[in-house]
Structure 1
Amino acid sequence: MTHSTPIIGRFAPSPSGDLHFGSLMAALGSYLDARSQNGQWRVRIEDIDPPREIAGASQRILQQLEHYGLAWDGPVIWQSQHHARYREILAWLITHRRSYYCTCTRKAIQQSGGYYLGTCRDVHHRAEGAALRLFQQSPVTQFTDLLRGTVHCHPQLAQEDFIIHRRDGLFAYNLAVTVDDHDQGVTQVVRGADLIEPTVRQIALFQQLGWNAPDYLHLPLALNQEGSKLSKQNHAPPLPREAPQRMLILALAALGQKVDDEWHDFSVEQLIQQATRQWQRAKIPINSTFITTDVLTTF
């Protein structure tokens, strides 16, 4: 869809660890794309999965963003404070028969081919000990990515009734992110390519709720020497406090942006300002970038 101004972008990290170089690429790409269009950039902490959260990570993430010159608009949003809103949406979906309870295990789904086949649609399970699934009545099989053009998804993934409330009582990612993007007025979601797959589910949920979906742009990923995505799970080193300009310049290069020699002498603020002025979405590569650990840890 095409949006009128103002553009509203966002960065939504989970507090499962400190930001690393891959996180910086996502945050920087999101920030520059919004700011280059005179838009707003907001920060949301996605703290809806307490077992995966690391104590103190939320505050360290905010400190890292500030240290790297990425200033956000408005207050920080915390998903853990939105439980009442999520329950309101779940109740609406239940009342309008757009969701149902399911007791199928992950093992059973894997044994049936890896995709959920709607086994519990007409069983009428009780809520106790069950997950809540969206009744997928209008599958989204493709979407337009602002960088990649038309992106197609596997038909069985598009048709799958996905979980919106887990059996352990936690709210599912796809539910929370969709509700919060709508409530925050987000018009464009710029994030890593590892989140391409759930995009069709989020768009489908937007449609079920009668809301306009934002535009999406999926950035290339930073990969380690083994070809795996830099992530907290594979122990990617956290962003250093020393020489943030160096990390910013590396991230800009990974995002395909032109960096002049004099940028190395800029302050963080000057660097971000210049990068915003010269940001070119068309220069972003589609393919991921290999980043060796020594590059991220040697100063």
Structure 2
Amino acid sequence: MTRIFRFAPSPNGELHLGHAFSALLNGDLAREAGGQLLIRMEDIDLARCRPEFEASILDDLAWLGLEWEQPVRRQSEHFDAYEAALDRLRAMDLVYPSFLSRAEIRAATESPEWPRDPDGAPLYPGLDRDLSNSEAAKQIAASAPYAWRLKMDAAIEAAGPLAFLELGSGPDGETGQIVAAPARWGDVVIARKEIPTSYHLSVVVDDALQGITDVVRGEDLFHATSVHRLLQTLLSLPQPTYRHHGLIRDAAGRKLSKSEGATGLRSLRNIGATPADIRAHIGLPPQPTPRT
């Protein structure tokens, strides 16, 4: 079986050294496995993602020496696939429309003892979880803002025990066969009124449709894998192998941001850095010379 890897940036800014590490690591692993590398543009945020950023990203990836299969997948061109997956979850009665405003959520979760998800955000209080279908439909018809959230307890019961194979490591060194813990995320957002998907839903649908066998990404997404395994199981989607890697951080130990110009590939290219310099700087070995 051909192993298929992917690098999936969001075209809402320029690439930085952290992106370079993940992209090159995916390319190296695909080459070592005799597999394929795919590029996916995670551009569901139509307000922030721009064609000029996509063009810049592809140019930087080619400059780094990466080669990938065509065509590039753009999530914005596949909302119908995500909506079909959302429809399946609705048919299983595993999602509900949530209407609480940010202010209402803050007021309901202000207690220091209120549980938080792995990213530190308070779990959704679910005060509107048991609205009748007619009342929810009335609010939707009145153009109230809402998001579709997973009924986490019901979803876990429907899916049963979950695990994933981790070939890298999580933030605390977790590796090997990992027991998934999606309950830590509470009733996560699966889609929104204006966009029929979310990162969690689109990533599992895309990985399945593209035949991804190996998901290689930063350790900041390690805990989100539990939600992804849950959705894969509910939607009868295949399970990839996961390899989470450490993050490239700034001098203060913070995760790099696209706003950090000093670590942007475009800035480094402009002052004369070479692809070999980038590989050395982020701790990757030199790229092998192609055979002639």
User: Shorter-chain TM-score category?
Assistant: 0.7 to 0.9
Percent same amino acid at aligned positions?
Answer: 33
Q: 1:157 aligns with which of 165, 171, 184?
A: 184
1:101 alignment counterpart: 97
TM-fit CA distance, 1:95: 1.9
Tell me the residue number matched to 1:267. none
Counterpart for residue 172 of structure 2 = none
Alignment check: 8 A CA contact 1:188 1:215 kept: yes
Map of 1:14 onto structure 2 = 10
* Residues 223-262 of structure 1: per-residue CA shift (max 9 Å, x gap): 10111111214445321333222112223x2x5x5x5xxx
What does residue 165 of structure 2 align with? 144
Alpha-carbon distance change, 117 to 272 in structure 1, aligned in 2, over 3 angstroms: farther
**TM-score normalised by structure 2 residue count:** 0.79
Is the deviation greater in 163-172 or in 176-185? Answer: 163-172
Residues 48 and 206 (structure 1), Cα distance of their counterparts in 2 relative to 1, 3 Å cut: same
Spell out, residue by residue over 1:103-127, the C-alpha distance to the aligned partner (whole angstroms, 9 max, x if none).
1234444442211244333213234
**Number of equivalent positions:** 255
Matches within 5 A, 1:19-98: 19-54=15-50, 56-98=52-94
Amino acid at match of 1:207: T
Residues 1:123 and 2:154 aligned together: no
SS at match of 1:230: coil
Conserved? CA contact 1:193–1:221, under 8 Å: yes
Q: Is the 8 A contact 1:14 1:45 kept in 2?
A: yes
| Preserved contact between residue 98 and residue 148 of structure 2 (Cα < 8 Å) | yes
Q: Letter of the 2:247 partner, please give it.
A: L
SS in 1 for 2:6: strand
Shift of 1:84: 1.3
Q: Report the equivalent of 1:246.
A: 277
Partner SS, residue 101 of structure 1:
strand
Q: Distance in 2 between matches of 1:98 and 1:133?
A: 8
Query: What SS does structure 2 have at the residue aligned with 1:190?
Result: strand
Does the Cα contact within 8 Å between 1:31 and 1:70 map onto a contact in 2?
A: yes
Report how far residue 142 of structure 1 moved: 5.7
The gaps in structure 1 that reach 5 residues or longer are 260-270, 275-299
Aligned 8 A contact 1:115 1:156 in 2: no
Counterpart in the other structure of 2:215: 189
Contact 1:7 1:187 in 2 (8 A): yes
Q: d(CA) in 2 for partners of 1:47 and 1:13?
A: 8
Aligned to 2:119: none
Q: How does 1:264-279 map to 2 (within 5 A)?
A: 271-273=287-289
Question: Residue by residue, what CA displacement relative to the aligned partner does 1:28-83 show, whole Å, maximum 9, x if unpaired?
Answer: 11111122111111000111102222450001101111111100013110111001
Residue 173 of structure 1: aligned partner? 199
Asked if 1:133 corresponds to 2:133, the answer is no
Task: Mark the runs of 5 or more structure 2 residues left unpaired by the alignment.
Answer: 115-121, 170-174
Instruction: Name the structure 2 match of 1:218.
Output: 244
